[in-house]
Structure 1
Amino acid sequence: MNLKASAPVVVALGLVDPALVVGHLPPGSRFVAEPSDADLRAAVGAVVRADADVDVALLDRMPALRVLARTGVGVERVDVAEATRRGIAVVVTPGAGTHAVAEGAMAMVLHLVKRLRATTECVAQGRWADRGGLVLGDLEGATIGIVGFGRIGRRVGTLAAPFGMTVVAHDPYLGTGTTLDGAELVTLDELRSRAHVVTLHLPLTPQTQHLVDDAFLAAVPPGAVLVNCGRGGLLDLDAAAEALADGRLSGLGLDVFDPEPPVHHPVFDHPDVVLSPHVMGLSVGATRATFTAAAQGVTDVLAGRRPAALADPAWDVPDRTTQQQEEQ
């Protein structure tokens, strides 16, 4: 009997809780959370975490591989082109964490606008008399500028609107001058000149690297709040630190960093900064949905079906006859 065909090996690349994936993999498959070299050689599928580097060297160690399933959508650490060249599908899970990340972005916005660190310290440190000096902002009547208007960006807009915020958005793949899902689509220049709150939800590409720099921050309204739940490389941290120091920014929220984990930066110590270790997409429900979607993607590819979402749409389901001959 052909073991590879009857008992496919699926490995974890990064930390994966077996309980979240085993029930959604092909029946009889063997899931290995801490794979050895032998497991990598035998693996036909892999569930890939955000911090795992999948380069040519690793692909060379996995000659039987047919599918990589990334828990999330960022594939900057996966050599997608090389995987596609080898016939390996790179599955992504774009919808699973949408609501969780959007809620995380809005939580950071509320924390910073309402200055919850300062209010907490006022009470905890017995400085009640200082409350008169606290300046709390308002979401009602403010404009939120969403940079990147895909699934997460649109959900942020949906959450912001009931607070009475005006929603403007910019996306390099969408036009301007129209309204989409309640948001006015504008140029990046217009967004940064109007937005009291800016939230970032773009993928990291050579074009978006350090999109938010000194020039960007020079154009925002004084006292703006900036939140990045997209990719760390979208923001120049040195520029953000200067903007906080001179009042162009009144608050900064970061869930993502470049690199991860980050080297300590002086901006981390600023009282008007809130940080989280790239976990906004990892709520209980989102984590379960993400791993379920990744495992289902592995199952689909191994069963000869096209998965729901691919990093490279050019990948196609291999011919089953040829595939079966190769496995014999």
Structure 2
Amino acid sequence: MSGKAKVVLTDYVWESLDVEHRTLEGIADLIPFKAAAPAEFLEQAADCDALLNTYAGPITAEVIGQMPRCKVIARYGIGVDTIDLAAATEAGIIVTNNPTYCVDEVAEHAMALMLSAARKIAFYDRRVRSGEWAVPPGKPMTRLAGKTLGLVGFGNIARKVAARAAAFDMRVVFSDPFVESGQFTVPGEKQELDAVLEQADFLSVHPPLTTATRGLIGDAAFARMKPSSILINVARGPIVDTAALVRALDAGRIAGCALDTTDPEPLPNPHPLRGRENVIITPHAAWYSEEAMVGLQSGAPSEVRRVLSGEWPINVVNPAVKGRNRAGL
């Protein structure tokens, strides 16, 4: 090993690490893994200066305790629910994420799922592929214009969805305890969560996964929704209580759902959500585009380079660590 810093990459799903090597050139050596769990990379991470992380986890307090030199944990994606932020902060480790690389992609995917559910695209495609050519099996369908889109959470992605939905002449309401009414210029009327649930023809969930939001959409939420409503999830699977969702579909409490994220994930086969005509599932693909890949791959290594160069990183998710961290920043 050289006198340069040591950066461990826990896992990655792209073909080349050229971006990482270029970004860290001259300042750090990269040790890449394709790990599924910390046990697979911890031996090398024990003396690392930085950790790059995609999916492998969770990065618990115990894991953090075994990386005494680590100055920064940089997530390639947006969510940091797999990292114990309190433990990282206590240890003096800066944690960063990559909050904007796929905002447009996920918003587009949410709209695509909404349109597919409303127009029954997947349903009709399956029928045509099987040799059938008929409109009546898909009845009833109604137009999107004039319908109400309810957004749970009103962050970057949700606001992009709101703007797109408004272009379809939809009414937008949202619930978000961290956003004030009128704070943003995009369409959307702030309401309490129960009111959003009761009014939404389409309910799209967008909060981060936290202790407070885990299972947020469960039996009580489904009981308030219209029987004609469609649930959309492009955020995190555990925000929706899967067992409660299955019960709601079985009982006809909602009309269907369109999911890019599930709990568990990948969704087992067989599973009660699979094979239903009123359920659309994509394999956590909302984040992806060729353009997003560029931002995804460069974001986390750039944050690591900043920290190792003595600069405060851009997207810090535990700001309380400033002034009391191992990097001395």
Task: Give the aligned partner of residue 62 of structure 1.
Answer: 67
| Aligned partners of 2:217 and 2:239 also within 8 Å | yes
Moved more, 233-242 or 93-102: 233-242
- From 11, 25, 34, the equivalent of 2:8 is 11
Task: Give the aligned partner of residue 167 of structure 2.
Answer: 162
Task: Give the aligned partner of residue 282 of structure 1.
Answer: 288
Answering whether residue 138 of structure 2 is matched by residue 134 of structure 1, we say yes
RMSD across aligned positions (CA): 2.5
Task: Give the aligned partner of residue 314 of structure 1.
Answer: 320
**Count of aligned residue pairs for this structure pair:** 319
CA separation of 1:315/1:245 partners in 2, compared to 1, >3 Å: closer, same or farther?
same
Instruction: Structure 2: give runs of 5+ residues left out of the alignment.
Output: 34-39
Task: Give the aligned partner of residue 104 of structure 1.
Answer: 109
Separation (CA, whole Å) in 1 of partners of 2:19 and 2:296: 9
Task: Give the aligned partner of residue 37 of structure 2.
Answer: none
CA separation of 1:37/1:182 partners in 2, compared to 1, >3 Å: closer, same or farther?
closer
- From 286, 290, 299, the equivalent of 2:305 is 299
Normalised to the residue count of structure 1, the TM-score between the two structures is 0.89
- From 215, 218, 221, the equivalent of 2:220 is 215
Instruction: Structure 1: give runs of 5+ residues left out of the alignment.
Output: none
Q: What SS does the corresponding residue of 1:30 show, helix, strand or coil?
A: strand
Moved more, 182-191 or 132-141: 132-141
Task: Give the aligned partner of residue 208 of structure 2.
Answer: 203
Q: CA offsets per residue over residues 178-212 of structure 1, 9 Å max, x none?
A: 87521111111111111100000011222222111
Q: What SS does the corresponding residue of 1:242 show, helix, strand or coil?
A: helix
Separation (CA, whole Å) in 2 of partners of 1:177 and 1:299: 38
Normalised to the residue count of structure 2, the TM-score between the two structures is 0.88
Separation (CA, whole Å) in 2 of partners of 1:224 and 1:77: 31
Q: CA deviation at 1:108?
A: 1.0
Q: CA deviation at 1:94?
A: 0.9
| Aligned partners of 1:9 and 1:45 also within 8 Å | yes
Q: CA deviation at 1:221?
A: 2.0
Q: CA deviation at 1:157?
A: 0.6
Separation (CA, whole Å) in 2 of partners of 1:96 and 1:196: 29
Separation (CA, whole Å) in 1 of partners of 2:28 and 2:13: 16
Answering whether residue 23 of structure 2 is matched by residue 24 of structure 1, we say yes
Q: What SS does the corresponding residue of 2:81 show, helix, strand or coil?
A: coil
Identity percentage of aligned residues: 30
Q: CA deviation at 1:57?
A: 3.1
- From 82, 85, 89, the equivalent of 2:90 is 85
Separation (CA, whole Å) in 1 of partners of 2:125 and 2:13: 36
Q: What SS does the corresponding residue of 1:269 show, helix, strand or coil?
A: coil
| Aligned partners of 1:26 and 1:299 also within 8 Å | no
Q: What SS does the corresponding residue of 1:212 show, helix, strand or coil?
A: coil
Moved more, 25-34 or 219-228: 25-34
Q: CA offsets per residue over residues 256-292 of structure 1, 9 Å max, x none?
A: 2233334453022211111122221132222221221
| Aligned partners of 2:91 and 2:325 also within 8 Å | no
CA separation of 1:319/1:102 partners in 2, compared to 1, >3 Å: closer, same or farther?
closer
Separation (CA, whole Å) in 2 of partners of 1:91 and 1:211: 25
Moved more, 8-17 or 160-169: 8-17
Q: CA offsets per residue over residues 272-323 of structure 1, 9 Å max, x none?
A: 1111222211322222212211111111111111111112111115689x96
| Aligned partners of 2:27 and 2:305 also within 8 Å | no
